[in-house]
């Protein structure tokens, strides 16, 4: 399976070393996570355009669930629709059901999805045997993505690619 990220994401603690473009990207990604309409359109266009050269007519786009249903719906419902319009894939948003509330892994460093995916996510049986591209905003360790992909595979889906808007970039510390 292919894993791909469009951009590097600079964490807040390293922004003092970032370029103007990296700071702007950081802001856009955080605005996307907050479901601001301009950022949703931007992210959908970026990912949709990147996928548009592939024949995805038999492929569903599914987003890796956010920390709760409300956040997941707010962040990904329109986004998934727009990405599918850009690249010609089928919209798999309605086939993923999020339950309860889990801690935000990137903040709390607790990987509840990785440990208990069945508790937080239900994958509709209609995705069984279907080709899937999973999308998420930021990948850092990959634990959440791996847990979700494993959950999709155990439900019978054929996950072809994990696509991320950005991957976390770290800077090495230099001793003077």
Going along the chain from its start, the domains and CATH numbers come out as 2-168 (3.40.50)
Cα 79 from Cα 165, distance rounded (Å): 12
59 Rama sector, left if φ>0, alpha if ψ -120 to 50, beta otherwise: beta
In this prediction, residue 111 carries a pLDDT of 46
In this prediction, residue 109 carries a pLDDT of 47
Which helix (DSSP H) or strand (DSSP E) does residue 39 occupy? Answer: helix 37-51
This prediction's pTM: 0.87
The CA-atom distances, in angstroms, between 111 and each of 35, 55, 67, 148 are 23, 34, 11, 11
Which helix (DSSP H) or strand (DSSP E) does residue 84 occupy? Answer: helix 69-87
Q: How do residues 101-153 score in pLDDT, each as one tens digit?
A: 655 554 454 444 445 555 578 899 999 999 999 999 999 989 889 989 999 99
Give the residue, 120 or 79, on which the prediction is more confident: 79
Q: How do residues 13-62 score in pLDDT, each as one tens digit?
A: 889 988 999 999 999 999 999 999 999 999 999 999 999 999 999 999 99
- Confidence class for position 70, pLDDT limits 50, 70, 90: very high
Cα 121 from Cα 119, distance rounded (Å): 6
Closest CA to 105 of 120, 92, 90, 83: 120
In this prediction, residue 164 carries a pLDDT of 98
């Amino acid at each position: 399976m292919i894993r791909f990220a469009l951009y590097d994401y600079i964490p807040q603690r390293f922004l003092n070393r970032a370029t103007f473009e990296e700071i702007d990207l950081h802001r856009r990604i955080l605005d996307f996570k907050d479901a601001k309409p301009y950022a949703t359109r931007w992210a959908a266009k970026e990912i949709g355009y990147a996928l548009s050269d592939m024949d995805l007519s038999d492929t569903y786009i599914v987003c890796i669930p956010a920390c709760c249903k409300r956040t997941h719906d707010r962040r990904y419902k329109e986004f998934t629709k727009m990405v599918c319009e850009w690249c010609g894939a089928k919209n798999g948003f309605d086939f993923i059901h999020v339950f309860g509330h889990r801690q935000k892994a990137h903040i709390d460093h607790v990987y509840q999805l990785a440990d208990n995916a069945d508790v937080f996510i239900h994958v509709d049986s209609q995705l069984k045997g279907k080709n899937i591209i999973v999308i998420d905003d930021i990948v850092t360790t990959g634990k959440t993505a791996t847990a979700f992909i494993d959950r999709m595979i155990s439900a019978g889906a054929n996950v072809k690619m994990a696509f991320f808007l950005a991957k976390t970039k770290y800077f090495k510390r230099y001793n003077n």
